Structure 1
Amino acid sequence: MHNDGKTVVFGFVMISLCICVSSISLKTPIVKTVYGPVQGQRELSRYGRYYQSFTGIPFAKPPVGPLRFAAPEEPDSWTLPLQATNVTPVCIQRDYLVTYNPPTEGTEDCLYLNVYTPEVEYRHNKFENKLLPVLVFIHWGGYFAGNSGKEYLGPDYLMDKDIIVVTFNYRLGVFGFLTTLDDEAPGNYGFKDQVLALKWVQRNIEYFGGDKNKVTIAGQSAGAASVHFHLLSSESEGLFHQAISQSGNVLGPWAFFNETYQKQITFYQALFTNCGNETTETKQIIECLRGLPAEEILKTQDYFKRFFSDPLVVYTSTVEKKSVRNPNPFLIQPPGEYLKKGMFRKVPWITGVVKDEGILKVSNLLRNDNIRNALNNKFVEEISNTLLALTVSTTDSTTLYSNISNFYFGGQNKIDINNPNSIQGLIDVYSDRSFIYPLYQSLLLHLYHKHNPIYLYSFEYKGEYTYGDVFSFTTNDISFSWGTSHCDDLLYLFYTPKYFNKLEADRDICMSKYIVEMWTNFVIYGNPNLLDDETQKTSWKPLDTAINKDNIQGLIHLLNITGNIKDGIDIKGSKSFYKDRINFWKSVDILENH
């Protein structure tokens, strides 16, 4: 009996405990929006704070039928509560970043967003009854891949802070950026999707506890360039108040294509899909493309590429003409013209790069014997024309290519996988051409027009995980220690279960705390510096606007975020931003220098 009594008591305790746990509802309260009510679910942040998660909220009509290759339209309203708990649909794509011959995934009905907000009782006292600052993050993927779902941009780390996070999808590749350079298909639909998502935030974020007057837009890679474009476009006026661009800007050679190139791409797209040739009217081409299954159009993207992945970006931004049929163009002149004329918003801005951006491209090239041999057979031409997309100005191209070979490869016109200097040279030349030098050029123009404050950083920390393994396509290895890859900074801001486990190493977790703290300080206060009991722990000064318009190196202030999982973390101010490499690109005669 005594033992039975214990059993009964134990069972009673367990039953009571189960009742208590089950009484904690995983559903959120129903939240009103201007289009209809939504209900999400409660989730836990990294350190155990409950937050409310709303995923898959439509912010536009499905861009199908006549809305394919057209500006987005607001969604239809609904009456019953929308269960905002589903996985956000992926915009239809083939992801050439992570595999050879990628499969088609996703759907055209993909214009959805996600909202994450900490619950009131878990907020710090000063935010308990206040609207929270908002971080809107634009996903990466070269304008042809990626998505906003939690498997790519998990909010777990950021939800330990008192901010609201919004992510969203936008149309990609041919569906987001094809243009006929006229009213039939003016282009930039992916950017117009982004504008509509930002308008949704302005109209609805207060229902979720967010402050529409304190919105920071941020992004990485293509998302970073998107943020920079929003600084330029009149269509984005009043939709945000601060900006963060991680590894991308509008002067990157992949971020904007001129009219001649756009015409060629559209012509070949019509040809590959049997929708026309160089004499076919644009109206007929677009009508034909609208009638094809999306999967059939995506199959033709292989025809634009060499080495499976080059060029990475086929469709990107373009200049539009304002007209009756296109009353709200996103870009009305090349981005460089906006910058030269000072036609941009001078909002507080964080921008920077990672040390080895070029791993994005190089990791898969070096691990594939066939591609590496093809590169070495015509090394100078392949490196300069194809991989770097050089636009030669007045100098004989032979001289330019020779200068590149001497500076980055010691005059050796081949890639030697047994020579670390050769591998690092290939990483550096792609980093500089696609990310570092374009950022330097844009900063010159922003500072010349007195844009302040701008906070510049270089991220060089090497942790347990790296996107270099994701971009390699294969497990074939070479005896080279990869540095800090393109996208590696994201590891410490977002949980990415698609590719990585949660951070486990103590120093990785510590780095994540630093990055989250700095980024959210900027979102909340407009100043990213770390504070400890009101004492500044970092020395991250904004760039000085009192510059010579041709050179900022002498007056530059940036934050170097360095270290590794073995030796520790070092975060400190610096006055040197890839000086020798930038000086090299300033010295060569390319169109971008004129």
Structure 2
Amino acid sequence: MGGHLSHLKPEQHSNVFVASCGPVRGNLYRHGEKSVDGFLGIPYAKPPIGELRFRKPVMADVWSKPRDCFEYGPRCPSSGMFYEKIDLKNQDVPDEANCLTLNVFRPRWQSKEYIKRPVMVFIHGGGFELCASRDYCDYSLTGTLPLKDVLVVTINYRLGALAFFSTGDETCPGNFGLWDQTLALKWVQKHIASFGGDSNNVTIFGQSAGGVSVDLLSLSPHSRDLFHKFVPMSGSAHVPFAIRTARNQLNVSLEYALNKGFTGSGSIELFEFMKNLPVEKLLERTGFEHSASGMVSFGPNLDGDFFPKPLEELRSEASKKPVMIGMAEHEGLLFAFTDPHFTTADEVLKKKIAAEFKEDVVDNPAKVRQDIFEYYMNFNRESDEKKLVAYTGDSIFNAGVILAAKSLATHGNNVFFYVFGYCNPDGFGPIGGILPFKVPTHCTELRYIVGEGVYSKFEPSETDLKMLEYMTTTFSNFAKYGMGGYLSHLEAEPLPDILAASCGPIKGNSYRHGDKTVNGYLGIPYAQPPIGPLRFAKPLPADDWTDTRDCTQYGPRCPPSGFGNEKGLLVLPDVPDEATCLSLNVFVPGWESKEYKDKRPVMVYVHGGGFEVSSSREFCAYSMSSTLPLKDVILVTMNYRLGILGFFTTGDDVCPGNWGLWDQTLALKWVQKHIASFGGDPNNVTLFGQSAGGACVDLLTLSPHSRDLFQKIVPMSGSALCEFAMRPAKLQAGVFDDMLPRLGFTGSGSKEKLEFMRSLSWEKLTGKTGFTYKQSGWMSMTPNYDGDFFPKPLDELRKDASKRIMMTGIAGNEGILFAFTQLSEPHSNYSELLKNWIALDYKQDNMDNLESVRKEIFDYYTKDIPKDEDTMMRRTAEYVGDSLFHTGQLATAESAAKYGDDVWFYKFDYCNPDGFGVVKDALPYVAPTHGIELRYLFGDGIFSKFEPTEEELKMLDRFTTMFANFAKYGNPNETGSSKWEKYDPSRPGRHFRISYPDCEMVDEYCGGNWKFLEEIRKKNKCFQANVYGKKL
């Protein structure tokens, strides 16, 4: 085997480096203009022999004479059934006494970003019975993560019987391998600063059994506060081999001792026998097999010490951390076909199921095994081999990793979930000869993180090197920043004082930004749980409380559903909760305002997501606190019901719908009632939102139930006059009529429909069913013209509404994001794609002379232009942007101005082309598009982690100043400036172009296409019914 740089040899330093553990000499690894120092084989524990065998490790003494740290320390001795079956050839000789060592790799150049560098600690896998840190070529490893400006530590820990032997009681409780890892982390906390590492920014990561260890370390009170972020890869506390009960581990340990010649009885005799067993006896392969479930003999157990409580309780108690967790796409391939006694796939499948499910883990194992076998054999896969791979991966890794992601998210951690789906089919070496196909499997990702081949020597292709660059960047970015917002790597401090808010006493967070702080109160309930008779009903205000409420974590998201959810518009691992999702968050400047003596202006944000997905928790709290609140305004964000739960209607008085809008209205009433106790001014409230959130903001401006609860509005990239914003009640009820049979409804009538929908669990309601709908429009679950929230057509309501100040606009190229990523209909070229989009927007429900209108639109967008693919691609993106956003947003500005509102109209025309992340791969070109402005408003990435350049930070300051000025004064211009002119209906399309370094007033708006589409909208029956009350 070997790493991709294993042919190189490091230079040995003669200079002595004075570390706090003692003076050391190390290696120099050169990589072009950069170099990395490596200090190998540093002892972190005293020899675990004699009285320290089967005992917690003791920290190594510091030393005074220089120690040569040029070579890896010896591996720890292996033992157990997994060790017996996996014969790793030509391994070096282990050494029980001297194996507890670690290795430090540090960048040698002066960092431009850090005084103390972030630290990444890697825990190797090997089924708790095999492997060592020395299995990773040191030269290759230094060519990966350390070149990303992080310090990397790798460790050894005891394995097999020496690490996890247990008598099931206090005589020998086991888990010594985990105690070793914990001591290594204590060593890092104590000594890593002397190597230039930041002990307050430590990320632990591990793969397979190393991934299990990482997750378990995050749970134990003995270890969980020794690091700040973690990455369990292809392993977690929930995989079946992660942990046994103490009794079951005792049984395995006893079987092993009997195999080695034990003839006594009782815990003390058993302990003494194993304590005195020569290490050579442990290394002997005797054909040992245990009778318990699972392929690993020796592993962690619920000992009552390292794990003083059940794991789920420990998870709920642990401090919240950023977590990146995932697996390879086909984990099971590596294990499915490597059995030397392989017969046929279905027979091996039976054998593997039998090995995993025995009497120690399930009742009625015969029936459970048969059920599992039948499920996988009947599963729609191409071959028995693939069924075997699916079961093997699901049972050993996949199910447990997914369960861990859900558990972590449920308990408040920020979770980033991945599936690794890349491999080079030429990189499997000899093992490739026994595999029926070659796909990403267990350990594949390691070569792209540490440069080591695992199955074979890593000889990277050009594509492999690009993947290595991508993976090491992703992992180092997580270690540096924690993903998400640009300040998501920072942790809030608990506020020492309780806020006596008028809703009840609350405990919040403090977010520090230089000499300013912002206080955050998260997850405040504003409504009673919308369940039982309150499902599909107007929300009721939450009761006030008297006991202090912990408001340091975001509340759960509302369950998503609808066509966008079916298509995976936004897939996140945290678990939603219907009962407790109606919460809001308040961010309050923590200093005394010079401008506002008692009450600051308030800005209330309504998130987007097509009325079906997303939540307020998508925005990193620390990053958000550094944006608008630093401009001396109070910021409120909210959740509201989504999809079916937010917009289900029977089209009549039985269930009129629009529940999500009623939720938003109640949140605004909460602001009016309670925001003064947070220091906010209820008479100076600005409501703003983006996309579907922008449409909601404009709709709330029109309804007599909500329009007097705020003073200024900012609908961004969405408004009441965007065609996606609303359907007539009858047509929206038709969308749900298409869905009901998929949920099992067989009745008739509105009352039966409502009763049926209330009877279903939210999991059933929001599960994916393959739902499609025949109505026009890209969104399935939308507000409807119900006669209650909207008692008149929208144009009449606009006319009736009290006059207010509006700022509204679009991103420069709204359609790019949607045109090439959101339509699943097949197309062979961009002309076909354009036709598909037109066909989606205009169907028989909203258009007479359908084919003629579709042709008219297609001809308009394709006439007098070259018909090459690049031009057609750009025209398709123009049409999608024009039809979804551009035309409706301008129409809203015109309508508001016509009825007396002051309007400020803009186009956001700035982006960093490197800020699109993986979305960039799906786009034929990049430009400012839908959602891009949010990163400069909230400091969060949207498409990818926000890692702002110096110029982007200037744009963030500019954009937040505009929004804060609008909220404070009703004018977004900088003080003393009049560069941005108010919207003038006599000059339609004239707008303020927001960019960097220059902003300017521009007359040309979206190529004038809006004029053509305005004429088409006059023929749109649904639009005319909603806006002007015309009969369908």
TM-score, length-normalised on structure 1?
0.75
**Larger RCO (CA under 8 A, 6+ residues apart):** 1
Distance (Å, rounded) in 2 between the aligned partners of 1:546 and 1:506: 42
Equivalent residues of 2:204, 2:230 under 8 A apart = yes
Match of 1:73 among 52, 55, 58: 58
Equivalent residues of 2:20, 2:194 under 8 A apart = no
Match of 2:355 among 377, 386, 391: 386
Identify the residue that residue 26 of structure 2 maps to in structure 1: 40
Equivalent residues of 1:157, 1:516 under 8 A apart = yes
- Spell out the pairing of 1:465-480 with structure 2 (5 A cutoff): 466=427, 472=431, 477=434, 480=436
Match of 1:259 among 246, 251, 272: 246
Matched, 1:30 2:16: yes
Name the SS for the 2:39 alignment partner: strand
Identify the residue that residue 372 of structure 1 maps to in structure 2: 343
Distance (Å, rounded) in 2 between the aligned partners of 1:74 and 1:543: 38
Distance (Å, rounded) in 1 between the aligned partners of 2:23 and 2:120: 22
Go from structure 1 to structure 2 and tell me whether the alpha carbon gap of 1:498 and 1:244 turns closer, same or farther (over 3 Å shift): closer
Match of 2:298 among 288, 312, 315: 315
How far does the alpha carbon of each residue in 1:149-183 deviate from its partner, in whole angstroms, 9 at most, with x for none? 26357232112211000000000010010111223
Name the SS for the 1:303 alignment partner: coil
Distance (Å, rounded) in 1 between the aligned partners of 2:90 and 2:373: 33
Distance (Å, rounded) in 1 between the aligned partners of 2:306 and 2:103: 24
Go from structure 1 to structure 2 and tell me whether the alpha carbon gap of 1:213 and 1:242 turns closer, same or farther (over 3 Å shift): same
How far does the alpha carbon of each residue in 1:466-504 deviate from its partner, in whole angstroms, 9 at most, with x for none? 56x57x4xx7536x2121110101110012267543443
Identify the residue that residue 350 of structure 1 maps to in structure 2: 324
Match of 1:111 among 97, 100, 103: 100
Q: State the Cα distance separating 1:248 from its structure 2 match.
A: 0.4
Matched, 1:447 2:409: yes
Identify the residue that residue 116 of structure 2 maps to in structure 1: 131
Match of 2:309 among 305, 329, 333: 333
Distance (Å, rounded) in 2 between the aligned partners of 1:253 and 1:101: 28
2:124 partner amino acid: H
Distance (Å, rounded) in 1 between the aligned partners of 2:92 and 2:293: 18
- Spell out the pairing of 1:44-63 with structure 2 (5 A cutoff): 44-45=30-31, 48-63=33-48
Equivalent residues of 2:293, 2:357 under 8 A apart = no
How far does the alpha carbon of each residue in 1:381-404 deviate from its partner, in whole angstroms, 9 at most, with x for none? x2322146687756x545433332
Matched, 1:526 2:482: yes
Identify the residue that residue 460 of structure 1 maps to in structure 2: 421
Distance (Å, rounded) in 2 between the aligned partners of 1:276 and 1:228: 37
Distance (Å, rounded) in 2 between the aligned partners of 1:252 and 1:114: 28
Identify the residue that residue 431 of structure 1 maps to in structure 2: 393
Distance (Å, rounded) in 2 between the aligned partners of 1:77 and 1:540: 51
Name the SS for the 1:440 alignment partner: helix
Q: State the Cα distance separating 1:80 from its structure 2 match.
A: 1.2
Q: State the Cα distance separating 1:139 from its structure 2 match.
A: 0.6
Distance (Å, rounded) in 2 between the aligned partners of 1:335 and 1:378: 32
Q: State the Cα distance separating 1:253 from its structure 2 match.
A: 0.8
Q: State the Cα distance separating 1:120 from its structure 2 match.
A: 2.3
Distance (Å, rounded) in 2 between the aligned partners of 1:487 and 1:51: 25
Equivalent residues of 2:29, 2:142 under 8 A apart = no
Distance (Å, rounded) in 2 between the aligned partners of 1:554 and 1:152: 48
Match of 1:144 among 113, 126, 129: 129
Match of 2:282 among 290, 293, 297: 297
Distance (Å, rounded) in 2 between the aligned partners of 1:493 and 1:113: 19
TM-score, length-normalised on structure 2?
0.44
Go from structure 1 to structure 2 and tell me whether the alpha carbon gap of 1:79 and 1:251 turns closer, same or farther (over 3 Å shift): same
Match of 1:181 among 163, 168, 191: 168
Q: State the Cα distance separating 1:318 from its structure 2 match.
A: 1.1
Q: State the Cα distance separating 1:345 from its structure 2 match.
A: 3.1
Go from structure 1 to structure 2 and tell me whether the alpha carbon gap of 1:390 and 1:85 turns closer, same or farther (over 3 Å shift): farther
Match of 2:144 among 114, 134, 157: 157
Name the SS for the 1:455 alignment partner: strand
Q: State the Cα distance separating 1:287 from its structure 2 match.
A: 1.6
Give the superposed CA RMSD.
3.5
Go from structure 1 to structure 2 and tell me whether the alpha carbon gap of 1:175 and 1:138 turns closer, same or farther (over 3 Å shift): same
Go from structure 1 to structure 2 and tell me whether the alpha carbon gap of 1:226 and 1:573 turns closer, same or farther (over 3 Å shift): farther
Match of 1:201 among 173, 183, 188: 188
Matched, 1:482 2:469: no
Name the SS for the 2:227 alignment partner: coil
Identify which range, 167-176 or 156-165, moves more after superposition.
156-165
How far does the alpha carbon of each residue in 1:514-554 deviate from its partner, in whole angstroms, 9 at most, with x for none? 11111111111111799xxxxxxxx9986445446996996
Matched, 1:220 2:204: no
For structure 2, the 5+ residue unaligned runs are 1-9, 487-568, 580-761, 769-916, 922-1032
Distance (Å, rounded) in 1 between the aligned partners of 2:322 and 2:119: 15
Go from structure 1 to structure 2 and tell me whether the alpha carbon gap of 1:269 and 1:401 turns closer, same or farther (over 3 Å shift): closer
Name the SS for the 2:306 alignment partner: coil
Distance (Å, rounded) in 1 between the aligned partners of 2:199 and 2:765: 37
Name the SS for the 2:205 alignment partner: strand
Distance (Å, rounded) in 2 between the aligned partners of 1:273 and 1:408: 39
Distance (Å, rounded) in 2 between the aligned partners of 1:399 and 1:89: 47
Distance (Å, rounded) in 1 between the aligned partners of 2:333 and 2:63: 46
Equivalent residues of 1:51, 1:117 under 8 A apart = yes
Match of 1:363 among 337, 354, 368: 337
Q: State the Cα distance separating 1:29 from its structure 2 match.
A: 4.1
Identify the residue that residue 159 of structure 2 maps to in structure 1: 172
Q: State the Cα distance separating 1:410 from its structure 2 match.
A: 3.3
Equivalent residues of 1:31, 1:207 under 8 A apart = no
How far does the alpha carbon of each residue in 1:107-159 deviate from its partner, in whole angstroms, 9 at most, with x for none? 212000000001124x4x233xx110000111111100111126357232112
- In our comparison, the structure showing a higher alpha carbon Rg is 2
1:99 partner amino acid: D
Percentage identity across paired residues of the two chains: 27
Identify which range, 423-432 or 496-505, moves more after superposition.
496-505
Go from structure 1 to structure 2 and tell me whether the alpha carbon gap of 1:204 and 1:540 turns closer, same or farther (over 3 Å shift): farther
Distance (Å, rounded) in 2 between the aligned partners of 1:390 and 1:310: 8
How far does the alpha carbon of each residue in 1:436-472 deviate from its partner, in whole angstroms, 9 at most, with x for none? 1112222333222222x110001111224556x57x4
For structure 1, the 5+ residue unaligned runs are 1-23, 322-328, 413-418, 531-538, 557-569, 575-594
Name the SS for the 1:32 alignment partner: strand
Go from structure 1 to structure 2 and tell me whether the alpha carbon gap of 1:548 and 1:385 turns closer, same or farther (over 3 Å shift): farther
Distance (Å, rounded) in 2 between the aligned partners of 1:245 and 1:393: 26
Name the SS for the 2:213 alignment partner: helix
Identify the residue that residue 21 of structure 1 maps to in structure 2: none
Identify the residue that residue 410 of structure 1 maps to in structure 2: 378
How far does the alpha carbon of each residue in 1:329-374 deviate from its partner, in whole angstroms, 9 at most, with x for none? 31123424534xx133310000011111112311312xx3x3426x
Go from structure 1 to structure 2 and tell me whether the alpha carbon gap of 1:212 and 1:234 turns closer, same or farther (over 3 Å shift): same
Go from structure 1 to structure 2 and tell me whether the alpha carbon gap of 1:377 and 1:507 turns closer, same or farther (over 3 Å shift): closer
Go from structure 1 to structure 2 and tell me whether the alpha carbon gap of 1:465 and 1:257 turns closer, same or farther (over 3 Å shift): farther
Go from structure 1 to structure 2 and tell me whether the alpha carbon gap of 1:185 and 1:79 turns closer, same or farther (over 3 Å shift): same
1:356 partner amino acid: H
1:385 partner amino acid: A
Identify the residue that residue 588 of structure 1 maps to in structure 2: none
Distance (Å, rounded) in 1 between the aligned partners of 2:89 and 2:456: 23
Name the SS for the 1:364 alignment partner: coil
Q: State the Cα distance separating 1:231 from its structure 2 match.
A: 1.1
Matched, 1:248 2:235: yes
Identify which range, 441-450 or 427-436, moves more after superposition.
441-450
